[in-house]
Structure formats: structure tokens, C-alpha cells
Structure 1
Amino acid sequence: MFSIGEFARLGLVSVRMLRHYDAIGLLRPAHVDPVSGYRSYQAEQLARLHRIVAIKDLGFTLEQVRTILDEQVGTEELHGMVRLRRAELEARISADLARLRSVEARLRTIETEGHMRTAEVVLKKVPRVRVAQLAARAASYEPEDIGPVLVPLFDELCRRLEAACVRIAGPGIAHYLQEEDGSVMAHACLPVNVRPGAYDFDVVDLPAIETAATIIHRGSMDAAWSTFQVLAHWIEEHGYRSRALAREISLHVPCDIDAWVTELQIEVIPC
């Protein structure tokens, strides 16, 4: 047997934690000396200790840990719980990173106020384009709501186009329709040279934009606030009004999102 100190070292936990687990009946010592009160543990108890720590680190309360252990959850089920928790943590980390990029972009915008790059805005006509399209609803137009919807849409659209043997004929296009409840219908589009048919995606013609104020944004779309502000200043200064949410043309989409190149197109009309 091992003393509580030895067992704690072998289990990579603290003596205080073992005493707490004993107090709440989660992990009792194999033996307690009736005179000294010293606790002793057996090597086989490490298996239960590891399960306790693993399940607790998944975010469960100690009471929930007790219930799970009492129900004798198997190793495969524990692996499934770990995989689920990993996916949740990765999603949370991704959302936090997106939020951080957005905050940093807003701070950069504040720092550069009064030095807007309005000379980079180009006014042009955008031609009609035929696209394959999938759409889904996002809770809002905020980047943290758009990204988790739009990225899987593009992945799924690429998969369906490949399965249908339809070639992609140009850069990806995202466009949005604002709903009355504040949500947004996000559309993932890829140019194609096919007629509408019996596909598991829509084939539609995006209408031409007679007059579009356009600008190139470099980096993640989570940090596009400063570029949109440049567009807003240009539109106001030149006597235009915007008519819709921007189209986003993905000109360059490498693995490094900080190297993305996206053209923003906003339909405008004279005031």
C-alpha cells in the first residue's frame, strides 16, 4: 500500500484533493489506521482516480462524476465524452479567437480615424454571374455568427459540386439578405457554367450591380470592420447611399487566414 502522499504523487494530484475525495465519498482509502487516522491506498485505485480527474476536467461537477462512475461508464464511452468535449472546446476557442480579431480590428479602426484610405475605393459595374449556391440562416450579421455558418456552407458546396462533376469557374462569393428579426440569410456561392438542373444545390444568376463601391480587404473577415468603415466614409463623402449588404468575393483564400484577400462590393445609388 501507499501513503496518501505517495499515492498523490503517483496520481499527479494533491493530498488536499485526495482528502476532499475521501470526505465526499468519491474515492475512499483502501485502509485507514484506526489509531493514527493515516490513509493508505492501493495501486489499483489509481484507475478510479484517473477516471475522476478525466471526467471532472470534462466540465462535470463532482456529484455528476460520482453518478457516472457509479453507472460504470466504459472506456469507449469515456473516449466519446472526451471527443465531444474537445469539439466543444475547439469551437469555443475558435469563437474567442474570432472575437479577439474583431476587437483588434475595431481598435485599429479607432487608431486610424482621420486617416481613412478612401482612395482605395473603386466605383464600378459588377456583371451578372451564374453560381451554384447553398444558403443557411445566421443569428446576425456579426462575424462571430456569420463565420460558423458560412465556412461549412462553402465546404459542403464544394463537396456537392465535386460529386456532381461540376467545375468551379471563379472565386467564391458570399452575399447576405437581412431578415426582419435581425437574422441574416447567408449564401455561399461558387461560379459555374451549367444550366439549372436536378442538383442538390441551387443554380442561380446573381444579378449585375450597376454601381458598386468596392475595396480590397486583406486578412480575416473577422477583422473587416476597418475596411467597411473606409467604404462608409467614401460612400458618404461622394454623395451615395448603400442599398444592400456587401457581397464578398474571395480572391485568395490560403490556409493562413491573415493572408486572405477579399473584395467587398456594396451596391450604391446617388443621394
Structure 2
Amino acid sequence: MKPEFIDPKTNYRYYTLEQLPRLTRILAFKDMGLSLEQISEWVNRDLSIDQLRKMLYSKQEELSEQIEQSTLQLRNIEARLLQIEQEGKPSPYEVILKNVAPYSIVSIREIIPTIHDMVSYRCRMFNDLYLWLTKNRIQVNQELVLYHAREFVDHNFDIETAVIIDHDYYSDDITAESKNISINNLPREAVVASLIHSGSFMEVGYALSELFKWITLHGFSPIGPTRELHLFGRENNHDDYNSIVVELQIPVLKNK
């Protein structure tokens, strides 16, 4: 806003009493973090109350997202420092905290009796999934496995093999021919502890135990099923199980 007078010696800006209410509003918007462009739009266009409310709600959402991201970054730094101090040497895995967007999945959930049955069950479950998806001409994305146990078990594994799908590419009237197949939405997770495992499929269990160890060490609790995202492609089509890349995610909540 143009001042009424600028002192040529000090460059101090002088405003009239009539200008002060408008100047006060401009400074208030500046303190809220609004851009000069947004402030100028409000000043010059004389926005309505509804338009002003919409602009402030938008800024509120933007700041909330920034705070959430900064909080996650601070927790990652604190966790990494604590890990170095308590263990003396870095873990083979880098664990980070992040948020995860919601997505839709087609899945089959079963109880696998023993660890020896794991390969054959998973192979059949994924095969049934892809047959159903192909038959219904549904476009598929990444595949994953959900582990529903919240603690260590050595039998009766509650496993869900799944494939992420685009909600826009299938009709809600499509029904599964098998009662085992279901279409669900995985919710947005505000915070997940995540690591990347690269190597043998047989070592995924070790990576998972390291992730649970990190969660306990840093004062978090699991609040949802573990997600094993297959970054290497389809499990049944992979030739070398000594060379896979997966991301492990566990939704967590900070202990009070």
C-alpha cells in the first residue's frame, strides 16, 4: 500500500489515519503467511467474506501439511540420533517415518498354517487374484502382502495378498465369483515406519524384525497391519528370489 508520505532522509513511511485500518489488515495477512499476490488480490479486488474465508481455509490446510511434514522430519532426525547413540553403529536398514495416501485393493485373505506352507499358499492366492482381475479387465498396479498379526507368531499366519487398483477402472457392480476375493480401501496413514529391503526373500523376516525393533526402541506402537510392497514386480513371475526389493510399512502411533 502506498504511504501518504516518505521521509527523504530516513525513508520512514507515514500513513494517514484513514489508511491505518487497511494497513493493519495487510500486516495481519502477512503474519499469516499469505503471499504478496494473495494480499494484493484481497486489497485490490475487495473480496467478499466467502472468498476471504475460502482463501484462509486454503492457507490453513497448506500450513497444516507443512507442519505435518516438518514434524515427520524432526522425528526422523531424533530417531536416527537415538539409534546411533544407543546402538553405537548404524542398522543395516534406514527406517523413516512418512505418511501414506489411501488406495483401493483387490485381495484374498487366508490363514496359512505353517511357514512351510507360505510359498504354495501365496502362489495360489496371487494366481487367483490375477485370474479374476484379467477376467474382469481391471487395470492393476503394484502388488503387496498384508500381515495382520500385531505380534510375532510361528504358525497360523493371517496373510492377505493384494493388488492396488485404480478405482476409476472398475465398476461397483462387479462382484467377486469367489467369496475369498474382496475389494477394499486401505485408509490414509498419518505415520508409518518404513524401510527398504534389497536382497533375498528369505531375509524379509529379518528386515521385519528390525523394523519392529526400531518401532519399540523409539517409543511407537503398531496400529495396523504390516504392508509388504513389491517393488520388484509380480511375485509369481520373478525368477531370482535372492534378488528382490520390497518396502515394509507399519502404521504407528507415538506412545504417550
TM-score relative to the length of structure 1: 0.51
| 1:199 is aligned to 2:179 | no
Aligned counterpart, 1:105: none
**Does structure 2 conserve the Cα–Cα contact (< 8 Å) formed by 1:215 and 1:264?**
yes
TM-score relative to the length of structure 2: 0.54
TM superposition shift of 1:205: 0.7
TM superposition shift of 1:233: 3.2
Match of 2:162 among 186, 189, 205: 189
Query: Residues 136 and 262 (structure 1 numbering): CA distance in 2 closer, same or farther, change over 3 Å?
Result: same
Aligned counterpart, 1:8: none
Higher relative contact order (CA 8 A, sep 6+): 2
TM superposition shift of 1:139: 1.6
Q: Deviations over 1:204-243 (max 9, x none)?
A: 1112222110001123432223312331332133221223
Aligned counterpart, 1:177: 148
TM superposition shift of 1:115: 4.5
Matched letter for residue 262 of structure 1: V
**Does structure 2 conserve the Cα–Cα contact (< 8 Å) formed by 1:118 and 1:230?**
no
Q: Say how many residue pairs are matched.
A: 156
C-alpha distance in 2, partners of 1:165/1:187? 22
Query: Residues 130 and 229 (structure 1 numbering): CA distance in 2 closer, same or farther, change over 3 Å?
Result: same
Match of 2:223 among 243, 253, 268: 243
Please identify the structure whose Cα radius of gyration is greater: 1
- Kindly, what percent of the aligned residue pairs are identical? 22
Runs (5+) with no aligned partner, structure 2: 1-86
Query: Residues 179 and 123 (structure 1 numbering): CA distance in 2 closer, same or farther, change over 3 Å?
Result: closer
Aligned counterpart, 2:130: 158
TM superposition shift of 1:149: 1.5
Q: Deviations over 1:157-213 (max 9, x none)?
A: 112111111110x21011133499962332111111224422333211112222110
C-alpha distance in 1, partners of 2:212/2:149? 18
Aligned alpha-carbon RMSD (Å): 2.7
Match of 2:95 among 116, 121, 139: 121
C-alpha distance in 2, partners of 1:129/1:206? 5
Aligned counterpart, 1:267: 251
TM superposition shift of 1:261: 0.7
**Does structure 2 conserve the Cα–Cα contact (< 8 Å) formed by 1:214 and 1:265?**
yes
Match of 1:136 among 80, 90, 110: 110
Query: Residues 225 and 203 (structure 1 numbering): CA distance in 2 closer, same or farther, change over 3 Å?
Result: closer
Greater mean alpha carbon deviation, residues 238-247 or residues 126-135: 238-247
C-alpha distance in 2, partners of 1:224/1:146? 13
| 1:234 is aligned to 2:214 | yes
**Does structure 2 conserve the Cα–Cα contact (< 8 Å) formed by 1:118 and 1:233?**
no
C-alpha distance in 2, partners of 1:179/1:120? 22
- Equivalent positions of 1:1-271 (< 5 A) are 115-117=89-91, 120-140=94-114, 142=115, 144-168=116-140, 170-178=141-149, 183-193=156-166, 194-196=170-172, 197-200=174-177, 201-253=181-233, 254-271=238-255
As a proportion of its length, which structure holds more helix?
1
Query: Residues 204 and 225 (structure 1 numbering): CA distance in 2 closer, same or farther, change over 3 Å?
Result: closer
C-alpha distance in 1, partners of 2:225/2:118? 13
Q: Deviations over 1:102-146 (max 9, x none)?
A: xxxxxxxxxxx9745276111111111101112222125x4x343
**Does structure 2 conserve the Cα–Cα contact (< 8 Å) formed by 1:217 and 1:261?**
yes
Runs (5+) with no aligned partner, structure 1: 1-112
**Does structure 1 conserve the Cα–Cα contact (< 8 Å) formed by 2:201 and 2:243?**
no
